[in-house]
Amino acid sequence: MSREEAENGRDNMEIDGCEPQSPQGNAILDANFLKIYYGKLFPHEDIFKWMSYGNDGKHPGCDQSYFGRREFSFTLENDIYLRYQSFNSLSELEKSINEKCPVKIDIGPVYNVDPAKRNAYAKAGDNGFTPVERELIFDLDINDYNDVRYCCCSGNDVCLDCWSLMTAVIKVIDTALRGCNNKEQNNNNDSDGDSTDTMNRNSKSGKFETTEKCTVKEVPIFSLLARENSSRKSFQKQSSDFVETFLEDKDDFGFDHILWVYSGRRGVHCWVCDRKARRLNNEQRAAIAGYLHVYKGNEYGHKKVSLTGPLHPFLARSYNEVLKDIFEERLLCGQELLSSEERFEKILEMIPDESITSELRGKWLESRQSSRLKEDINVVRWGQLKHILQSRKHKGLHRCVEEIVFCYAYPRLDMEGAGMSLCKIILKTTCSFCSSIVPE
C-alpha cells in the first residue's frame, strides 16, 4: 500500500503535525544493516514491556488485550507506508519487524478495539473505533531557537554550545511535570498493572469503554488558571470546585514516569507515561501545554515574553534554579549574544525605555573600538545592562532582565505536537528508539 492510499483512509488522524518524510530524502539505510539492527540490537522485549504497562499476561487481573489494541505504523523502503499494525504478543511484534525491516516505526494510541479489526466497527459511529489512551508527549526542536543560535550550527546541525538550550528545556519541563508534593500519592495510586479498574469490556460488543472519569487528584490540568489570576478569589470564579481542591495540595502536575528521548535529528521528545497522563483528553492536554507556554510571538515581534506582577512559583523556580545560570554561564558567551551590534540590538529592542537603550548602545559602540577589555565582552555588557535595569531609579523595568532570559532560554513548545492529541502518532526513527536523555 502506498502512502497516498494509506492516508486516504486514515480517519483524519495526523502524524506529528506534518507529512512523514521520505527516507530517500535523507541517507538511505542499507537493508542488510537494518536486518542486523533488528535481529541483533533492536530492543523488542523492552518496547513490548514498556508499551504493555504491566498488561503482559503474566499476572491475574491484567488486560491481555491491551498491547493488541495499540497501533504501530511502519514506513518501508520506497516510501511504502503501513498504518494500523497491531500485535498480540512479543513474538508477533518481533516477527513482523524483522520481516518488514521498516526504515521508521511510529507509535500510535491504544484504541477501544484492535486497530486491525477497525472496519468491523466502522458502522457503529464515533464510538465504534476510537482512541482511549495515549502518552502525553512534548516535541522540542532546536530549530525553534534558530533566531538566537549564533554558534557554528545552522539548520539541523547541533553542537555542545547550542545543546545548552535543550538542557534548559529538559530541566524546566521535567521539574514542572514531576512536581514536588505528591510523589507518595502517585506511588500509591499510579500502578499500571491493573488498567481494568476504569476500562471495562462491553459484553455485547467486545469493546472496551471508559466507565469512570479520572478524578481531580489524578488529573491536575487546569492549574494554568492560577497563573493567569493572581488572586485566589478570581481563580475560584473561573475554575470548578474539583480543580480548586487539587490546587490546595499539589505543586504542578506530579507525574512520575517520564522518559526523555533524543528525537533522532535535532531535538528531544518527552514521553509522560503515567496512567493519568495517558488518559487525558485533548482539552486537558492543551491545558497542560498552555500552563507551560510562555514564549509567544514570531520573528517579526520584538516582545516575545511578557512578565507582569509577581512571578508564578513555577516561573520563579524555573528562572532561579535553571534559566539564569544556563543563560549567564553557557548561552551568553557560548552564543556570543552581545558581541556585535546586530545581536545586541535584538536585546535592546526588548527594553521599553528609549533613554536606557540609547545609553547602553552608546557604551557598547564605544567599547567596540577599544581593545582594553580583559573580560569577555558579552559578560561585561550583560553586567552593564543588569546594573541599569535593576537599579532603584528604574523600578518599573526590573522584569526586563528576566524577560530577556526567558526569551532566549525558556522552552519553546510545539503547541500542535503529536502528544497534544489522542489521535496523532509520534514519529520515531529506528536509530533513536531507545536513546534516552537524563537531565544534567
Give the active site residues: 71, 139, 141
Say how far apart CA 189 and CA 17 lie, in whole Å.
33
3-state DSSP percent of the chain in helix, strand and coil, to 5: 45, 10, 40
Beta strands in 86-162 (DSSP E): 104-111, 131-133, 136-141
Q: Positive or negative, the Cα torsion across 125, 127, 128, 132?
A: positive
What DSSP string describes 9-64?
Answer: TSTT--BTTSPPPPGGGSPPPPHHHHHHIIIII--HHHHHHHHHTT-SSSSTT--T
3-state secondary structure of 236: helix
Extract the C-alpha cell encoding 332.
551568553
Angle in degrees, 0-180, between the axes of helices 354-368 and 377-389, rounded to the nearest 10: 160
Say how far apart CA 395 and CA 176 lie, in whole Å.
30
Per DSSP, the chain holds a count of helices (H) and strands (E) of 18, 10
Say how far apart CA 228 and CA 181 lie, in whole Å.
22
- ∠ CA 80-83-86, nearest 5°, is 125
Helix (H) or strand (E) holding 273: none
Main-chain dihedrals φ then ψ at residue 121, nearest 5 degrees: -110, 10
